[in-house]
């Protein structure tokens, strides 16, 4: 594994260790009472159209497994989640057992994924694509795991938002929060050491998280090169990342959804 990805593994595991256990209990309760509720309406619509009692679904970069189990509830026979963080995968497996659902979780670096399984549907949710220095290779690994004719649905931060500073960043301007302050074509990685706030609910000195900017063409061409046909693209002005909620409905595309079919 490349050193940056190994450090990301440590950083994500550290973040998960800092999650309040009450938050994790709430995840379990929410899955019991409203199982689909961890997915956006768009993702529910997209995955719901692919579901069936003889069909399987996989989530790549699944975190604690809540979205994978949500997807299962849309009507798939079984679900598998992949993530680099061992403790998240362990938590996902324990949660699936408690809920008695057909979901399994597997630890892997997505860029090293090798599986004999072929899923009818695959998905990536917000905050997944940014961890890969080689998006083309990510999509090739995923393509290998999707059945011919099956679909991959990606819902992630709109690439244009890499140009906008997040509150708390040095170049964030409170009075002009939508200023385009970063290079859209940025190649050098982002390295952050102040924790994963949305999980730990606190800022802390953490192992470094290394992430990368990507452009729309990186995504579209990466999918095409990997053997997918793009079927639909949706852009929305609703933030799903908890980083740009202050820009909701301000005329800026915050979230990008792509449906791609495996040829
Ligand atoms: C922001 S989450 C995305 C899932 C979901 N939206 C969420 O917030 O729970 C990103 C996930 O990607 C995982 N990840 C990062 N790098 C990875 C890699 N190289 N292979 C597999 N998973 C990775 C992290 O462990 C983390 O759980």
With a pLDDT cut of 70, the percent of the chain lying above it is 100
Beta strands in 84-202 (DSSP E): 103-107, 119-124, 146-157, 190-192
Task: State residue 167's pLDDT score.
Answer: 87
Question: Between residues 65 and 1, which one has the greater pLDDT?
Answer: 65
Measured in Å, residue 22 CA sits from the centre of ligand 1 at 21
**Which whole-number Å values give the CA distances from 190 to 183, 186, 246, in the listed order?**
12, 9, 22
7-42 pLDDT per residue, tens: 999 999 999 999 999 999 999 999 999 999 999 999
Q: Pocket of ligand 1, candidates 131, 156, 243, 255: which has the most ligand atoms within 8 Å of its Cβ, to mutate? A: 131
Pick the atom of ligand 1 nearest to 131's CA: 16
Across 211-248, b (16+ Cβ under 10 Å) vs e yields bbbbeeebbeebbeebbbeeeeeeebeebbbebbeebe
Measured CA to CA, the distance from residue 21 to residue 25 in angstroms comes to 6
Does 100 have pLDDT greater than 90? yes
Cβ–Cβ < 8 Å for 121, 145? no
Does 150 have pLDDT greater than 90? yes
Measured in Å, residue 260 CA sits from the centre of ligand 1 at 20
- Residues recorded for the chain: 263
In degrees, rounded to 5, the angle at the alpha carbon of residue 47 between the alpha carbons of residues 237 and 142 is: 95
Task: State residue 69's pLDDT score.
Answer: 98
Measured in Å, residue 175 CA sits from the centre of ligand 1 at 32
> What does the block give as tokens for 196?
């994963």
Domains observed in the chain: 3-262 (3.40.50.150)
Does 192 have pLDDT greater than 90? yes
Q: Pocket of ligand 1, candidates 5, 7, 63: which has the most ligand atoms within 8 Å of its Cβ, to mutate? A: 63
Does 96 have pLDDT greater than 90? yes
Q: What is the mean pLDDT of the chain?
A: 96
Ligand 1, atom 26: nearest CA belongs to which residue? 63
Whether ligand 1 lies within 6 angstroms of the CB of 5 is answered as yes
71-94 pLDDT per residue, tens: 999 999 999 999 999 999 999 999
Strands 209-211 and 228-236: unpaired
Measured CA to CA, the distance from residue 201 to residue 27 in angstroms comes to 15
Whether ligand 1 lies within 6 angstroms of the CB of 210 is answered as no
Task: State residue 3's pLDDT score.
Answer: 87
Task: State residue 180's pLDDT score.
Answer: 94
With a pLDDT cut of 90, the percent of the chain lying above it is 94
The predicted model gives 116-142 an average pLDDT of 97
201-219 pLDDT per residue, tens: 999 999 999 999 999 999 9
Whether ligand 1 lies within 6 angstroms of the CB of 12 is answered as yes
157-180 pLDDT per residue, tens: 999 999 999 988 889 989 999 999
Across 19-44, b (16+ Cβ under 10 Å) vs e yields beeeeeeebbeebeeebbebbbebbb
């Amino acid at each position: 594994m490349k050193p940056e990805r190994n450090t990301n593994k440590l950083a994500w595991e550290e973040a998960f260790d800092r999650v309040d256990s009450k938050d994790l209990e709430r995840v379990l309760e929410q899955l019991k009472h409203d199982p689909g509720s961890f997915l956006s309406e768009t993702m529910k619509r997209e995955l719901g159209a692919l579901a069936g009692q003889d069909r399987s679904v996989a989530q790549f970069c699944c975190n604690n497994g809540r979205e994978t189990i949500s997807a299962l509830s849309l009507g798939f026979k079984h679900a598998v989640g992949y993530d680099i963080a061992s403790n998240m995968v362990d938590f996902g497996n324990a949660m699936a057992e408690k809920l008695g659902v057909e979901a399994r979780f597997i630890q892997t670096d997505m860029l090293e994924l090798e599986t004999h399984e072929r899923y009818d549907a695959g998905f990536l949710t917000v905050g997944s694509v940014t961890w890969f220095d080689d998006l083309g290779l990510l999509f090739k690994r995923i393509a290998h795991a999707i059945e011919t004719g099956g679909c991959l649905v990606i819902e992630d931060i709109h690439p244009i938002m890499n140009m906008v500073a997040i509150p708390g960043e040095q170049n964030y301007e409170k009075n002009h929060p939508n200023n385009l302050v970063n290079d859209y074509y940025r190649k050098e990685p982002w390295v952050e050491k102040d924790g994963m706030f949305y999980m730990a609910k606190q800022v802390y000195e953490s192992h470094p998280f290394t992430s990368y900017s990507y452009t729309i063409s990186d995504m579209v061409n990466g999918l095409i090169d990997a053997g997918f046909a793009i079927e639909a693209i949706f852009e929305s002005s609703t933030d799903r990342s908890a980083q740009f909620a202050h820009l909701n409905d301000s005329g800026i595309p915050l979230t990008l959804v792509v449906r791609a079919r495996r040829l």
